[in-house]
Amino acid sequence: MPALTVVFRTQSQSEAAVVRGLLEANGVTAMISSDLSRTPFPMSVGDLQVMVGDDDAEQATRIIDSHREEGGPGRVVPFGTELVPLEERIGYRFRDRGLLEHALTHRSRVHEDASGGVFDNESMEFLGDSVLGFAIADMLFRQFPQHNEGQKSKLKASIVSATSLARLAERLGLGDFLILGRGEEKTGGRRKHAIIADCYEALIAGIYLDGGIGPAQGFIERQFQGLIDEARRGGVHAGFTEDYKSALQEWLQREGRGLPTYRLAGETGPAHRRSFEVEILVGGEAIAKAEGKTKKEAAQLAAREALTMLSAEF
């Protein structure tokens, strides 16, 4: 095996891939390596290295340097610059943008990457769910001292539902920043509620890992205070937890279209993190489908999609 030289270091899988592509487009064979084992949280500085043969090292360095020049075509910039708009929307600037990239990376991207240097956000999603649950419980404890445990639990379940997370993620435009595989991109992954809701939880974990519990709680409070205020005014069913199934049934009956039928169209993921896809049929014709963490949630999201589509027809 020929001797190799490291010509570029980064925390970003995407930036490493860009640099490798740049070198290979200029006739220099390159590879990406990591000095870390594959772990759920690849956070060490400089853990990804772009390497070339010793004989190509000087040329590779010139190519990379030439593309760092301000205004140069296809210039190399630190990965994450394009994520500045997202940081502005969430009100938090990452010290380690590799964490933000990690939070945005869907498993479909990992499945299509042959380098082994890309990590999906599922472990971060798990952590973010716990951080979110803690922060919301703290807010409810302080703001609803008169409520008993059961009432607080119902409020919490309503406020942190996947439907709520997806809608908040849509407000941030989170789907525009997702790092998806080509297959998921083609099937509209940026608009799938299950994907962006999971990414929203991973984003919370990213803020927590980068800045600690204070910034994470601050983000959650800014995002969820409106929902909590609505819950205070209208009860546990306020906010983004509308009964779309009932609304769809009423709409169809008014239009003389008959009752909808809900059918399980598929299941994905491991047993402990199942995702369900539910399809709605009207008159035997499929009109909408959606994914959710439970069949009930998927049915509600599918009903919401159906209402949106049907409303656009009239």
Residue whose structure tokens are 């940081």 = 87
Which of these is catalytic: 129, 277, 291, 305? 129
Distance in angstroms (rounded) separating the CA atoms of residues 22 and 226: 46
Question: Does the active-site annotation cover 201?
Answer: yes
Query: Please, what CATH class does the domain formed by 244-313 belong to?
Result: alpha beta
**One pLDDT digit (tens) per residue for the chain, 314 residues:** 578 899 888 776 667 777 877 787 778 888 888 755 444 444 444 467 888 998 889 988 888 877 654 433 333 434 456 889 999 999 999 998 889 999 999 998 888 776 666 688 999 999 999 999 999 999 999 999 988 888 888 888 888 888 889 889 999 999 999 989 888 888 888 988 889 999 999 999 999 999 999 999 999 999 999 989 887 776 444 444 457 888 888 888 878 888 999 999 999 877 777 889 999 999 889 999 988 888 888 898 888 888 877 765 65
Helix or strand or coil: residue 192? coil
The DSSP call for residue 71 is T
How many other C-beta atoms are found inside a 10 Å radius of the C-beta of residue 93? 14
Query: Is 122-234 CATH 1.10.1520.10?
Result: yes
104 closest CA partner among 89, 88, 93, 118: 118
What is the architecture of the domain spanning 1-79?
A: 2-Layer Sandwich (3.30)
- For residue 262, the cross-strand partners are 280
User: What residue type is assigned to position 44 of the chain?
Assistant: S
Q: Is 255 a catalytic residue?
A: no
d(CA 80, CA 1): 34
With vertex at residue 175, the alpha carbon angle to CA 171 and CA 177, rounded to the nearest 5 degrees, is 110
DSSP secondary structure code for residue 8 in this structure = E
Domain limits, the chain: 1-79, 122-234, 244-313
Residue of 201, 277, 279, 291 marked catalytic: 201
